[in-house]
């Protein structure tokens, strides 16, 4: 790339910040694994350093798992800007009887878009000691769930989750795709909704022609605790007693209303005076 990928500007902020913000909406604990001397911007996450540089994905996965507080961890790389919450949630749900859940696309495993149990860390440490720097060596040793392309197709039909940026041309193409295809909006929660989600503000990115119903669907995927209490069971309406205001200008009852880039959606309950 000619410059540190993690610091590339993307969607108005360094790429690593963009990724951490998206992961924060899915997970309560995030860990960034950096090289020993790597410069990073301020991040709302734990930062750990490789003990030994240039150990590839196995090193990054090992140090990240070792530092994680949770038993189940989703692992991704810093150059994958199109993380898909629905696909990540699906992968996480497959780990029940396995140690690793890893997608298989384009005739190869995707170890840096996979789910690992923290308990596999000792095996990765052994790999590092043997200089076995390919994650695939782990998969034959543990209970591994291989996710096929057909399983992922309904959730990520364009395969953007696995789009990496390895050259300036890749980077330019990813920026153009993001600008053309996405609608960034912000949801601000008040009252009970804020208490349940334990956050005041959620940044979302919708497909073109995105609607308020799709806002609620994404919000429910990121914060399932809101289902049935703020967002109804089908995921695309608010329950009785909640209201939606668009940009502080008007309350909207037709959830087929299309949203525009930069819109701010307020969700209020009677507790908040809505």
Task: List, in order of start, the domains of the chain with CATH numbers.
Answer: 5-176 (3.90.550.10), 182-272 (3.10.20.30)
**What is the predicted pLDDT for the residue at 84?**
86
Residues 6+ apart with CB under 8 A from 189: 197, 199, 200, 201, 202, 267
112 near 80, Cβ under 8 Å?
Answer: yes
Distance, in Å, from the CA atom of 259 to the CA atom of 213, rounded to the nearest integer, reads 10
pLDDT at 257 over 90: no
Count CB-CB contacts under 10 A for residue 1. 12
**What is the predicted pLDDT for the residue at 235?**
79
Helix (H) / strand (E) element for 164: namely none
Percent of the chain with pLDDT over 90: 54
- Mean pLDDT, the chain, rounded, equals 89
Edge-first strand listing for the sheet containing 264-269: 201-206, 183-189, 264-269, 242-246, 250-251
**What is the predicted pLDDT for the residue at 67?**
94
**What is the predicted pLDDT for the residue at 206?**
79
Q: Which residues pair with 126 in a beta bridge?
A: none
**What is the predicted pLDDT for the residue at 38?**
87
What is the mean predicted confidence (pLDDT) over 238-254? 90
Residues 6+ apart with CB under 8 A from 45: 20, 24, 30, 31, 32
* pTM of this prediction exceeds 0.75: no
What is the mean predicted confidence (pLDDT) over 97-115? 96
Regarding predicted confidence, which is higher, 25 or 106? 106
What is the mean predicted confidence (pLDDT) over 21-35? 86
pLDDT at 270 over 70: no
Closest of 12, 9, 3 to residue 186, by C-alpha: 12
Least-confidence region, from 80-84, 114-118, 207-211, 212-216? 207-211
pLDDT at 207 over 70: no
CB environment 3-12: b (16+ within 10 A), e (fewer): eebbbbebbe
């Amino acid at each position: 790339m000619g410059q540190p990928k993690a610091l590339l500007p993307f969607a108005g902020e360094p790429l690593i910040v963009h990724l951490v913000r998206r992961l924060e909406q899915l997970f309560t604990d995030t860990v960034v694994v950096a090289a020993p001397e790597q410069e990073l911007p301020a991040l709302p996450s734990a930062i750990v350093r490789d003990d030994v540089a240039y150990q590839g994905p196995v090193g990054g996965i090992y140090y990240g798992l070792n530092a994680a507080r949770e038993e189940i961890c989703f692992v991704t790389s810093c150059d994958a800007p199109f993380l898909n919450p629905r696909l990540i949630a699906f992968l996480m749900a497959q780990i029940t009887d396995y140690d690793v859940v890893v997608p298989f696309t384009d005739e190869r495993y995707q170890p840096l878009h996979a789910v690992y149990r923290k308990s596999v860390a000792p095996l990765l440490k052994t790999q590092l000691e043997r200089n076995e720097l390919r994650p695939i060596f782990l998969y034959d040793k543990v209970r591994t769930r291989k996710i096929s392309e057909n399983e992922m197709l309904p959730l990520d039909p364009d395969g953007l989750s696995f789009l990496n940026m390895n050259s300036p041309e890749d980077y330019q193409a990813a920026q153009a795709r993001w600008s053309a295809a996405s609608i960034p909006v912000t949801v601000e929660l008040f009252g009970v909704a804020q208490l349940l989600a334990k956050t005041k503000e959620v940044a979302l990115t919708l497909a073109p022609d995105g609607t308020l119903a799709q806002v609620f669907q994404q919000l429910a995927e990121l914060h399932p605790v809101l289902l049935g209490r703020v967002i109804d069971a089908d995921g695309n309406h608010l329950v009785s007693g909640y209201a939606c205001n668009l940009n502080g200008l008007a309350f909207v009852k037709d959830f087929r209303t299309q949203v525009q880039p930069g819109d701010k959606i307020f969700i209020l309950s009677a507790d908040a005076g809505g």
